[in-house]
Structure 1
Amino acid sequence: MIRRQLNAYIQSYQGLSREIWLLALITLINRAGTMVVPFLSLYLTASLGYSLSEVGWVMTAFGTGSILGAWLGGKLTDHFGYYKIMLFSLIGSGVVFIIVQYLNEFWFLVGGIFILMLIADMFRPAMYVSIRAYSKPENNTRSVTLIRLAINLGFSFGPAMGGIIIATMTYGSLFWIDGITCLVASILLYLLLNEKDGKPVNEQMATGQKRQSAYSDLPYLVFLAIVFLTAIVFLQMFATVPIYYKTIHHLSEGQIGLLLGMNGMLIFLFEMPLINWLEKSRISKASVLLIGTLVLGMGFWVFNLSEWAGILIVSMFFITLGEMLIFPFANSFAMERSEKGKAGEYMALFPIAFSAAHIIGPNIGMQLIETHGYNFTWSMILVATAVGLGLCLYLKYRLNAEAHGNTNKKISSAVS
């Protein structure tokens, strides 16, 4: 029984291209190197002595740079190709990481953080487009899942390593190591990945056909609204939920860390086999998004059911399951949809939706808790989930109508 399950787990990783594995390795090194991000607010207050209001401006520059970087990365990817933009982003962010530690004057620091995130997040749309280039179409979702696994592992190692470095060295050391890891990732990209090994991602350009703009693709815009809404809900796990653990259930930091670590462990163990099974079952991506949205919302709503401490484990299971259902298939849907038009533009809007939620979501959760309390906040998440479900149903309707229309066109073409 155990051997059969182990074989099934191993098989879920088989069939992925060499380039996707190398891209996952580069992503792991890059994300593990972003150690300074979770400690940025501590660095600004404890090391530089800035006030909380000043930290707020820096974080605004951080989020704004992230959104504009993703948008610009998509535009430049369509113009110059994904490979050049990935290489430029890694080299550029590596250099700027090292420079930022020397910016102590407030507005210079704000500008430095903005430029850093502008360059660093140009990597994301280019990386998503590269997945489409290096992966077989039938492996798109599993390829995305492997990259997500690399990102999660990187974000798990990064903060732990960053804490050790701060305790034994200085905050400045984080910037040096972050910069060096970005440069190492760029060297690996240049040496191990060849742009010529990937297939073209904007095939319509070669035939002279006009590529559709993502901004005129209504089903894709509805999909982005779903991503934005589910991301606002999901990000409460890192914003309001730890405070809920501390203030209502009186958990220690160590216990909170274990609960949050359960998320990463479940993803590591079960996400790829789950995705592999769902792909074989031929369930539509819109249906998976609908189920994932429901499960994610339940993960927060169960807080209102009981004050029993075990409900926290139940909640984390539902939240993680919802995450595993939504985000790999959302990435895959965006990649497949981008075949209709400008790949960079499509893949830029996807991380922008998530970044926008990152700016708005935690603040909304904090405001609701402060003014109305936790129970009301979890109920509002249930309302947001209901809206998300409605959008998922509408997306399914639009996609079915689109597929039916395409079928009729093919029949009419064949008859004529």
Structure 2
Amino acid sequence: MWTKQEAGAARHFSVIFKARFGGLPRPFWILWAGTLVNRLGTMVIPFLSFYLSLERGFTATEVGVVLAVLGVGSVLSQPIGGVIADRWGRRVALTGGMLATGALMLTLGYAESTPVTVVVVFLLGVTLDLFRPASQAIVADLIPAEGRPRAFGMLLWAVNLGFALSMALGGALAREGFLTLFWIDALSCALFGVLVWRGVPEPSAQQVKTSQGRVADVLRDRVMVAFVCLTLLCAFVFVQALTTLPLAMERNGLPTSSYGLVMAVNGLTVVVLQPLLGHRLGMLDRNHGLMLGMVLMGAGNAATAWASGTLGYGAAVAVWTVGEVLLTSIGSTLVADLAPAHLRGRYNGLYGLAWGLGTFTAPLGGTRLLEAGAPVLWYTCAALCGAAALGQWALGGPVRRRVLEASGA
């Protein structure tokens, strides 16, 4: 028998657990589990430059060209995925995208000629994120407006938890041979696709009219287009962590291992923070939450200009990671609020386009700014985040009206 203190502690834990993880439908948890599995198997793209250089003998310039080709494909990925999700269904877009990605992973692993490698890498870029608009549309289909910030935050948690573990495992497996990475990545993609196909229903015909809707309908939504432009500014800043941050740390005399530790702070912060804050995100005003996220991202980048050691860089990353959690969780929620049910795929595709363009433009602009000096780069990033926050403030009235309409108030 439990004592009164033990019973009280158990009830308290149950209340906390339900607040953070309860109330979400079974299909959402299938999507969550599939996302986690997929990120646990994400091993090829993070180690692609090493594979091309060490296994295939590509020069640094050739590696850069191949990665640029991947980036061009990724810009197209989410808009195409959004159209597929609306026209042919969420499961077709997600499962089809995952199976295509898995097949291309294996093709790339066995490719021997450079032309074939370049073509496959481009196609891989196109298919990699086909699933994402469908995944976000599924959340909007399943979860009422007040629960979406928590649900999108939980998906972000799965992504970071899986990715952190895959990096550790992938690094060890790569030493034994890169082909194993391609097979694990392909199988995880296939498993994600099968889980969603079998366990996540399509929205009802009353929810979604798949025969209607065009991309032009999305572009006529001025609030959505303005928000996408603000997101592009933040995406440009966010991707600097993957492109120019390691270069800046190297110029400060820090080893590669320091960059690994610093980026581990990013994943660890998300993994720890999300369960603590996720259930409160729905209480935040959409506009205020996004502005706070943008300001924190700017503050973290400004702090990077002052960093000189691993500890300083890690602290700066921790600050902008809090902003990342707010921006990605509430940003996806706002897109769901703005999108009519039959256009959710296309709206998320346009939102994803901003992140794709950020991935493509960040290395080009960031390296130019870094050449002028690290403070120039990081203060410019902070200024861009500040400009985004001001733009979000200007959108306050229209955003609140649309959120109220979406909630039926």
TM-score normalised according to structure 1 size:
0.87
Number of the residue aligned with 2:5: none
- Partners of 1:201 and 1:252 lie apart in 2 by 57
Residue from 173, 177, 182 that aligns with 2:180: 173
Number of the residue aligned with 2:318: 317
User: Is the contact made by 1:129 and 1:347 (CA closer than 8 Å) also made in structure 2?
Assistant: yes
User: Is the contact made by 1:235 and 1:361 (CA closer than 8 Å) also made in structure 2?
Assistant: yes
User: Is the contact made by 1:204 and 1:211 (CA closer than 8 Å) also made in structure 2?
Assistant: no
- Partners of 2:290 and 2:271 lie apart in 1 by 20
- Partners of 1:30 and 1:159 lie apart in 2 by 13
Moved more, 173-182 or 329-338: 173-182
Number of the residue aligned with 1:157: 165
Secondary structure at 2:340's aligned position in 1? Answer: helix
By how many angstroms is 1:322 displaced? 0.8
Structure 1 pair 151/310, CA: closer, same or farther in 2 (3 Å)? closer
User: Is the contact made by 2:73 and 2:122 (CA closer than 8 Å) also made in structure 1?
Assistant: yes
Structure 1 pair 313/181, CA: closer, same or farther in 2 (3 Å)? closer
Number of the residue aligned with 1:364: 365
**Aligned-partner residue type, residue 223 of structure 1:** F
Number of the residue aligned with 1:225: 229
- Partners of 2:206 and 2:326 lie apart in 1 by 26
User: Is the contact made by 1:142 and 1:272 (CA closer than 8 Å) also made in structure 2?
Assistant: no
Q: Deviations over 1:385-407 (max 9, x none)?
A: 23212211221143357689x79
1:14-413 superposed matches below 5 A: 14-168=22-176, 170-191=177-198, 193-196=199-202, 198-199=203-204, 202-203=207-208, 213-248=217-252, 250-280=253-283, 283-305=284-306, 310-339=311-340, 342-370=343-371, 372-400=372-400
Structure 1 pair 261/10, CA: closer, same or farther in 2 (3 Å)? farther
By how many angstroms is 1:205 displaced? 6.4
**Aligned-partner residue type, residue 271 of structure 1:** Q
Structure 1 pair 212/16, CA: closer, same or farther in 2 (3 Å)? farther
**Aligned-partner residue type, residue 177 of structure 1:** I
User: Is the contact made by 2:338 and 2:403 (CA closer than 8 Å) also made in structure 1?
Assistant: no
By how many angstroms is 1:342 displaced? 1.5
- Partners of 2:323 and 2:226 lie apart in 1 by 19
**Aligned-partner residue type, residue 389 of structure 1:** A
- Partners of 1:209 and 1:171 lie apart in 2 by 43
- Partners of 1:138 and 1:181 lie apart in 2 by 31
Secondary structure at 2:112's aligned position in 1? Answer: coil
- Partners of 2:184 and 2:384 lie apart in 1 by 40
- Partners of 1:6 and 1:260 lie apart in 2 by 33
Secondary structure at 2:354's aligned position in 1? Answer: helix
Secondary structure at 2:43's aligned position in 1? Answer: coil
- Partners of 2:49 and 2:310 lie apart in 1 by 30
**Aligned-partner residue type, residue 293 of structure 2:** G
Aligned residues: 398
Structure 1 pair 400/11, CA: closer, same or farther in 2 (3 Å)? closer
Structure 1 pair 329/199, CA: closer, same or farther in 2 (3 Å)? farther
By how many angstroms is 1:5 displaced? 8.3
- Partners of 2:352 and 2:214 lie apart in 1 by 24
Structure 1 pair 341/390, CA: closer, same or farther in 2 (3 Å)? farther
- Partners of 2:403 and 2:190 lie apart in 1 by 45
- Partners of 2:88 and 2:62 lie apart in 1 by 37
Q: Return 5+ residue gaps in structure 2 as ranges.
A: 1-8
- Partners of 1:211 and 1:262 lie apart in 2 by 38
Moved more, 15-24 or 341-350: 341-350
**Aligned-partner residue type, residue 43 of structure 1:** Y
Structure 1 pair 110/263, CA: closer, same or farther in 2 (3 Å)? same
Q: Deviations over 1:51-74 (max 9, x none)?
A: 222222211221122221211111
Q: Deviations over 1:308-349 (max 9, x none)?
A: 765434312211111111110001111121127622210111
Number of the residue aligned with 1:413: none
User: Is the contact made by 1:212 and 1:341 (CA closer than 8 Å) also made in structure 2?
Assistant: no
Structure 1 pair 402/346, CA: closer, same or farther in 2 (3 Å)? closer
Secondary structure at 1:49's aligned position in 2? Answer: coil
- Partners of 1:271 and 1:31 lie apart in 2 by 17
By how many angstroms is 1:16 displaced? 1.3
User: Is the contact made by 2:208 and 2:342 (CA closer than 8 Å) also made in structure 1?
Assistant: no
User: Is the contact made by 2:258 and 2:310 (CA closer than 8 Å) also made in structure 1?
Assistant: no
Percent sequence identity over aligned pairs: 24
- Partners of 2:298 and 2:102 lie apart in 1 by 38
Structure 1 pair 204/237, CA: closer, same or farther in 2 (3 Å)? same
Q: Return 5+ residue gaps in structure 1 as ranges.
A: 411-416
C-alpha RMSD of matched pairs (Å)? 2.8
